[in-house]
Amino acid sequence: MTFHIGQKVVCVDDENHFRDSFIAMGTPVIRVEELKREYSSIIDGENVYAAARFRPVIEHKTDISIFKGMLNPDKQRVDA
């Protein structure tokens, strides 16, 4: 899987977090800006994690038109 700078990711494997302390040479790694733990591997002074433990966040475009309709209901005339 390919990641790019600035991409949002989610952890899909948080079991045995000490496993990353033993990242083998050639294992794809990522650095997560907001995630800094003392038990991550350090490569070139950066805290890194095995890329296989993450996947990209899937963002869905939310259609909020139904909610806008609730805020601006059609005016109905009611005879009382």
18 vs 33 pLDDT, higher one: 33
Residue 19 has pLDDT above 60, yes or no: no
Write down the pLDDT at residue 32.
Answer: 85
Q: For the segment 23-72, what is each residue's pLDDT rounded down to a tens digit? A: 777 888 888 888 767 666 777 777 888 899 999 999 888 888 878 877 87
Q: Which residues contact 61 (CB under 8 A, 6 or more apart)?
A: none
The confidence score (pLDDT) of residue 31 equals 87
Radius of gyration of the CA atoms of the chain, in A? 23
Q: How many CB atoms lie within 10 A of CB 40?
A: 21
Is the pLDDT higher at 64 or at 80? Answer: 64
Q: Supply the pLDDT for residue 34.
A: 81
- CA distance linking residue 28 with residue 25, whole number of Å: 9
